[in-house]
Structure 1
Amino acid sequence: MSAPTDHSDAILQRVMGLHPKIIDLSLDRMLRLLGDLGNPQDRLPPVIHIAGTNGKGSTLAMIRAGLETAGKRVHAYTSPHLARFHERIRLAGTLIPEAELADILTEIEDVNAGRSITFFELTTAAAFLAFERQEADFTLLEVGLGGRLDATNVVSSPTLTIITPVSIDHTQYLGDTLPEIAAEKAGILKHGVPCIVGKQDDAALQVIEARAARLSSPLITAGQHWHAAADGDGMIFQDERGLVDLPLPTLRGPHQIDNAGTAIAALRTLGFGADEALGAVTRAEWPARMQRLRMGPLVDIAAQNGCELWLDGGHNAAGGQAVAATLAAMPERPTHLICGMLNTKDVAGYLRPLAAVAQSLTAVSIPQELNTLPANETRAAAASVGLPASEADDVTQAVRRLAQENPGARLLICGSLYLAGQVLQENG
């Protein structure tokens, strides 16, 4: 039996050894553990369950901001974390305290009794137990991977489901085609439960619509039941209830207008109005999504030569397109990328749209990450799409060299949430 005084980091490290695979999509182990814990997933505050390839986290952040504008207490479960695991579990608006996290992890570790369980499954169970034990008005659950067999997909009666844009990613787990991946995402749909559907390619939308029809799940779909678009220096949202004029989202990038539309559609389906929509777009915070870094040692190095330092965690082809569109819409300034990626990603697909908006790429490996793509392979991928590329030993070396060689430039660290998390942690 583990000691109750263990720090959460020590417990989480032990949990990593309970299953040979980091990812093993199945609900059997999860349902067994939850049953032993008394099925806390059946007693959560009203659940909003969010799947999709891109925009899940930003959409969740905006929904949370809207609900909190209305004075609601909101639990939220997201992944992965950037700097600390505690970021994944937010209790009624506040990150889970260390003592509570350690106690719950100890309890679950004891109940699991050394049986095979993945890290994500056990920590998702921890979130459910924490959510059950603290009062709140809503629970926001972000799918970890896919949907149908994701550990979060054990809530039988959510209040609302959401599917953000679906694109090609995680093909080794979800399938090689857009319809196959969309079918996995649509696995979160539940009988009779409304689903907000973000902007989709037709091939994905057809799959979602077919499953919704089988489950009598009403769809509230982008481009059909609601519309969101830029309008001058702001944005507009329109549905059958009317039109709302809003400022641009505080989260940067043209794609965030679509995410804001999804969030607002969700809020309005729940009965909220214009004030909550305004809160959603103006109060949301979500690190490493085209985030300008403003303090810390890396910023100091960049600032010595008048450079801006930015950070983004996008990592697939759609993410590359979103970053490129964001850069194209920003004030003109030479942009140089510092990029580290995982070896499970479509690197050329991510970099191809960035070649049109960046002057160069400096490739780095992601420290302490087993699945990092070696810097030389990232450099080669960049060169293959026409992006001048070099290598650096680490992010600090890359920032220093680029700042010296390109005074006044915009430096963007990108390619992986894992890299982004390390940058946030090391940059203070």
Structure 2
Amino acid sequence: MKDFGKSDHPAVQAQLDRLAGLSLPEGRLGLDTIRCLLDRLGNPHRSLPPVFHVAGTNGKGSTCAFLRAMLEADGKRVHMTTSPHLVRYNERIRLAGELIADDPLAALLEEVFDAAEGLNPSFFEVTIAAAFLAFSRTPADACVVEVGLGGRFDATNVLEPEALAACGIAALGIDHERFLLAPEEGVPQVPLARIAFEKAGITKRATSLITQSYPEEATLEIERAALAAGAPLSMRGRDWHSSISETALHYADRYGELVLPLPQLPGPHQGDNAALAIAMLRHQDRVNVASGALAAGIRNAKWPARLQLLAPGPLCSGRKVWLDGGHNPDAGKALAAHFAGQRVHLLLGMIEGKDPQAILGPLAPSIASVTAVPISTHEYQPAASYGADIMQAASLEDALNALPDDGLPVLIAGSLYLAGDVLRMNRERPD
């Protein structure tokens, strides 16, 4: 699957058109291509500021957002690469706190494409090569790098121990089964253990590995990976602890206890993501961050399309509209927790291959109505796949206009690609 991009800058669009023509050759796994491409570019991944590398099924993007906000609250200049983008491809590469500008982005992608001649790289490999090349050329104090898919074979996993400050693993769940549960000899057969095995593939020699807590089958795989790499392992519930009260986030580890503000990002799960970011910063010794910056970062972190309340705009028409890109069972549970005790009209759009029940099942007690909506850039699930009596709207606008004027909030969910459509149409461009 490719993440398409559009730009009103002709030189950027020319490179995005080249990116749109790339695909991962069927059956190719491994890091050989990205390593060869980076070698042709002078191995920029070996010349980065200290890197915080984050994997996970859910919460890794939010953890990255908290890391960036905490580091910046301490006065640090921070590079960051995350995926997918929502509205503009530029969102994938943030240099010293600012999204990369169009002119340098176009030149950067052209340089990477020239170096990639004959390698047949994937969309994501080109993107990561471009990000690391940009990071190596712009002074900064730290990098935050989100894993794209899995961990073991993800293009970001070319990062070497010398570049890393810490590795983190957020919440685990079953997702991207076609790739992460593909039959292979010598790997765990229990699904969640296999997921943990893939995510723990980012573990590096003598580099701190900080994780959430997991069921036993996943915990054992992470422990094995840490032991094999000689990586100090700090796991929630054993080496660090956190909880949320009505007024504060409580965090504790061997260095002491902290009472911190609650995250501004909605949802109780964001307390878990903020705590993982804190633990990653406290269980490494390459970048110092004051406790006051941890508190400021919790308050300041922004992460669009994750339980985002849309601003007044063309799509809202005076109505309260929530947006979430979640598409797997754990995302469904997080949405259910947020809307517990409420009624909400659900506009659901999911790409082919995703299970609608991942969202519909947990949210069922709160659903007042369900409307299937299209996704502009991908093949999407038809209304029939959502169950009986579900209407298919021709557009998001049609779906919103057809809702009764009953004052109930609206939730648009099911895909980050759909979320990008929503933000674009509501004129909310992530910055």
Taking structure 1 as the reference length, the TM-score comes to 0.91
After TM superposition, give the deviation of residue 15 of structure 1 in Å: 2.5
| Distance (Å, rounded) in 1 between the aligned partners of 2:348 and 2:79 | 33
| Distance (Å, rounded) in 2 between the aligned partners of 1:284 and 1:131 | 21
| Distance (Å, rounded) in 1 between the aligned partners of 2:395 and 2:217 | 40
Alignment partner of 1:169 out of 171, 175, 182: 175
The question of whether the paired residues in 2 share the 8 Å contact of 1:364 and 1:393 is answered with yes
After TM superposition, give the deviation of residue 248 of structure 1 in Å: 1.3
Alignment of 1:171-210 (within 5 A): 171-175=177-181, 177-210=191-224
* CA deviation map 1:242-289 (0-9, x unaligned): 221122101110111111110111122244342122022101000001
The corresponding residue for 2:43 is 39
After TM superposition, give the deviation of residue 27 of structure 1 in Å: 0.9
- The one-letter amino acid paired with 1:355 is A
1:283 pairs with 2:284: no
Shifted more, 21-30 versus 410-419: the winner is 21-30
| Distance (Å, rounded) in 2 between the aligned partners of 1:226 and 1:16 | 43
1:360 match: secondary structure:
strand
| Distance (Å, rounded) in 2 between the aligned partners of 1:365 and 1:150 | 29
After TM superposition, give the deviation of residue 204 of structure 1 in Å: 1.2
Sequence identity (%):
45
The question of whether the paired residues in 1 share the 8 Å contact of 2:306 and 2:325 is answered with yes
After TM superposition, give the deviation of residue 376 of structure 1 in Å: 2.8
The corresponding residue for 2:366 is 357
After TM superposition, give the deviation of residue 373 of structure 1 in Å: 1.6
The corresponding residue for 1:274 is 291
* CA deviation map 1:367-422 (0-9, x unaligned): 231x3222332x32xx5xxxx733211111111111xx142111010000000011
Alignment partner of 2:327 out of 293, 315, 319: 315
Shifted more, 104-113 versus 23-32: the winner is 23-32
The question of whether the paired residues in 2 share the 8 Å contact of 1:340 and 1:416 is answered with yes
| Distance (Å, rounded) in 2 between the aligned partners of 1:273 and 1:356 | 43
The corresponding residue for 1:232 is 246
Alignment of 1:137-176 (within 5 A): 137-157=141-161, 158-175=164-181
Taking structure 2 as the reference length, the TM-score comes to 0.91
Q: 1:80 to 1:25 in 2, by over 3 A?
A: farther
* CA deviation map 1:53-97 (0-9, x unaligned): 000110000011000010000000000000000001000000001
* CA deviation map 1:319-363 (0-9, x unaligned): 1111111112xxx54211100001122221332101122222111
* CA deviation map 1:22-80 (0-9, x unaligned): 99542111111111111111111111111010001100000110000100000000000
Q: 1:234 to 1:406 in 2, by over 3 A?
A: farther
2:309 match: secondary structure:
strand
* CA deviation map 1:126-174 (0-9, x unaligned): 0010000000000111000000010000011112100001110011101
- The one-letter amino acid paired with 1:325 is A
1:298 match: secondary structure:
coil
Q: 1:335 to 1:250 in 2, by over 3 A?
A: same
The question of whether the paired residues in 2 share the 8 Å contact of 1:267 and 1:276 is answered with no
1:424 pairs with 2:428: no
Shifted more, 261-270 versus 137-146: the winner is 261-270
- The one-letter amino acid paired with 2:173 is S
After TM superposition, give the deviation of residue 214 of structure 1 in Å: 1.2
- The one-letter amino acid paired with 2:336 is A
2:121 match: secondary structure:
coil
- The one-letter amino acid paired with 1:283 is N
| Distance (Å, rounded) in 2 between the aligned partners of 1:317 and 1:334 | 20
Alignment partner of 1:336 out of 334, 345, 363: 345
5+ long unaligned stretches in structure 1: none
2:53 match: secondary structure:
strand
Q: 1:22 to 1:84 in 2, by over 3 A?
A: farther
Alignment partner of 2:381 out of 362, 373, 382: 373
Shifted more, 235-244 versus 311-320: the winner is 235-244
| Distance (Å, rounded) in 1 between the aligned partners of 2:250 and 2:26 | 42
Alignment partner of 1:248 out of 248, 251, 262: 262
The corresponding residue for 2:394 is 393
Q: 1:406 to 1:24 in 2, by over 3 A?
A: farther
* CA deviation map 1:184-219 (0-9, x unaligned): 100000011001102322221111011111111111
| Distance (Å, rounded) in 2 between the aligned partners of 1:125 and 1:42 | 12
Alignment of 1:45-64 (within 5 A): 45-64=49-68
The question of whether the paired residues in 1 share the 8 Å contact of 2:305 and 2:325 is answered with yes
2:353 match: secondary structure:
coil
2:419 match: secondary structure:
helix
- The one-letter amino acid paired with 1:242 is G
| Distance (Å, rounded) in 2 between the aligned partners of 1:364 and 1:152 | 33
Shifted more, 43-52 versus 195-204: the winner is 195-204
- The one-letter amino acid paired with 1:125 is A
| CA root-mean-square deviation | 1.7
The corresponding residue for 2:186 is none
- The one-letter amino acid paired with 2:393 is A
